[in-house]
Amino acid sequence: MKTIIKNGTVVTAEKSFKADILIEGETIAQISPSIEAMDAKLIDASGLLVLPGGIDPHVHLDLEMMGTISSDDHYTGGKAAAFGGTTTIIDFVSQLESGLEESIRQHRRNADPKVSIDYSSHMNISHFDEKVAAELPLLPEYGITSIKVFTAYNGRLRISDGDIFKAMRIAGKHDLLTLVHAENGDVIDILIEEALREGHTQPIWHALTRPGWGAVESSLRAFALAAQADAPVYLVHMNMAGEVDQLAYARSKGIYAMGETCPQYLFFSEENLQAEDGAKWICSPPMRRKEDNQRLWQGLIDGSIQVLATDHCPFFYDGTKAIEYEGKPIAIPGKELGKNDFTKIPNGLPGLGDRLPLFWTHAVASGRISPERFVALSATNAAKIFGLYPKKGVLQVGSDADIAIWDPNLEVNYGVKTAKHRTDYNLYEGFQLKGYPVIVMQRGAILVDHGEWFGKPGQGRFIERLSGEVL
Residue 38 has pLDDT above 90, yes or no: no
Q: Is 406 helix (H, G, I), strand (E, B) or coil?
A: strand
Give the start-to-end residue ranges of the domains of the chain: 2-52+394-453, 54-364
Q: How do strand 16-24 and strand 2-11 relate by DSSP bridges?
A: antiparallel
Whole-number pLDDT of residue 442: 98
- pTM to 2 decimals? 0.97
Q: What is the DSSP string of 303-325?
A: TSS-EE---B----SSTTS-EEE
Q: Is the pLDDT of residue 432 over 90?
A: yes
Which residues contact residue 29 at a Cβ distance below 8 angstroms, ignoring those fewer than 6 apart?
Answer: 2, 22, 23, 397
Report pLDDT for 37: 82
Per-residue CA distances from 71 to 236, 317, 421, 426, 427 (Å)? 22, 10, 8, 13, 15
- Furthest-apart CA pair in the chain: how many Å? 74
**175: number of Cβ within 10 Å:** 15
pLDDT at 470: 95
pLDDT over 70 for what percent of the chain? 100
Burial of 298 (0-12, 13-18, 19+ CB in 10 A): middle
Residue 314 predicted with pLDDT over 90? yes
Output the CA torsion sign for 401, 111, 306, 440: positive
pLDDT at 356: 98
Look at residue 208 in the predicted model and tell me its pLDDT: 98
Q: What is the DSSP string of 15-42?
A: -EEEEEEEEETTEEEEEES----TTSEE
Give tens-digit pLDDT for 243-288.
999 999 999 999 999 999 999 999 999 999 999 999 999 999 999 9
What average pLDDT does the segment 318-331 reach? 97
Mean pLDDT of 11-29: 98
SS3 107: helix
Rounded Cα–Cα distance for residues 164 and 222 (Å): 9
Are the C-beta atoms of residues 343 and 19 closer than 8 Å to each other? no
pLDDT of residue 348: 97
Give residue 90's pLDDT: 98
Average pLDDT, the chain: 97
For residues 399 and 389, the answer to whether their CB atoms sit within 8 Å is no
pLDDT value of position 1: 85
Q: What is the pLDDT of residue 355?
A: 98
Would you call 110 exposed, middle or buried from its count of C-beta atoms within 10 A (0-12, 13-18, 19+)? middle
- Fold for the domain defined by 2-52+394-453: Urease, subunit C; domain 1 (2.30.40)
Residues 122-146: tens digit of each pLDDT: 999 999 999 999 999 999 999 999 9
- Each residue of 159-183: pLDDT tens digit? 999 999 999 999 999 999 999 999 9
SS3 breakdown of the chain: % helix, strand, coil, rounded to 5?
30, 25, 40
CATH architecture designation of domain 54-364: Alpha-Beta Barrel (3.20)
Distances (CA, A) of 201 to 206, 277, 340, 377: 9, 14, 6, 37
Q: What confidence tens digit (pLDDT) does each residue in 78-125 have?
A: 999 999 999 999 999 999 999 999 999 999 999 999 999 999 999 999
Residue 64 has pLDDT above 90, yes or no: yes
Give the model's pLDDT for residue 41.
Answer: 95
CA nearest to 265, candidates 244, 294, 242: 294
More reliable by pLDDT, 37 or 386:
386
Give the tens place of pLDDT for each residue, 200-244.
999 999 999 999 999 999 999 999 999 999 999 999 999 999 999
> What is the mean predicted confidence (pLDDT) over 71-82?
98
